[in-house]
Amino acid sequence: MNVSRPAVHPVEAPPVTEAAVHGPRVRMKDVQGMPGTKGGLFLRLSQFSFAIISVSVMATTSDFRSATAFSYLVLAVGLQSLWSLTLAFVDIYALLVKRSLRNYKAIRLFTIGDGITSTLTFAAACASAGITVLIGNDLNKCAFNHCTRFETATAMAFISWFAMSPSFLMNFWSLASQ
């Protein structure tokens, strides 16, 4: 029997790439407000500016040490301003070198730090608001105290906390999605 045989031509195997071994890498889209983005930098700078305004207004009053809540506000918002300024510098660096801050340890540090400072700031703002209401409405002693400055500092602390909340939630979401 005379059977023709097919000709076999050698074919080179495609080069092995990382995508072939591990599958294609899918990167999560950078959501504005996360660390290392322009939105994240804007949030950090707004947190810092409102915290500094709050500390400055409260520290310029002569009798803020008369209530422990006001001293606590200065301490908590001062800590938040340092934290926000530090992370603003980290965001600026990440934007300049075009790096993403997707490191698990860094995100965990940002999340814990944001959670602690936002809780302290919120508690201090609530305590200061209570003392401000007590002085202004219940005791009617605004003539002897700096009620307007106390209210302004407390309002700036709340606004700083409002700016801190999206940062914490974005970091927490990024941490949970890894």
Q: Could you read off the pLDDT of 110-133 as tens digits, one per residue?
A: 999 999 999 999 999 999 999 999
Other C-beta atoms lying within 10 Å of the C-beta of residue 29: 6
Tens digits of residue pLDDT in 29-46: 677 778 888 999 999 999
Rounded to whole angstroms, what are the CA distances from 77 to 12, 71, 97, 160? 65, 10, 30, 8
Tens digits of residue pLDDT in 11-23: 676 677 665 566 5
* The pLDDT of residue 100: 80
Which helix (H) or strand (E) element contains residue 76?
A: helix 68-96
Does pLDDT of 154 surpass 80? Answer: yes
28: confidence class by pLDDT, cuts 50, 70, 90? low
CA distance 59 to 53: 10
More confident residue, 165 or 5: 165
CA distance 170 to 177: 10
Hey, what are 4's tokens?
Answer: 């023709």
pTM: predicted TM-score of the whole model, two decimal places: 0.78
Residue of 27, 128, 132 whose CA lies nearest to 71: 128
Mean of pLDDT values over 139-152: 85
Other C-beta atoms lying within 10 Å of the C-beta of residue 6: 5
Does pLDDT of 88 surpass 90? Answer: yes
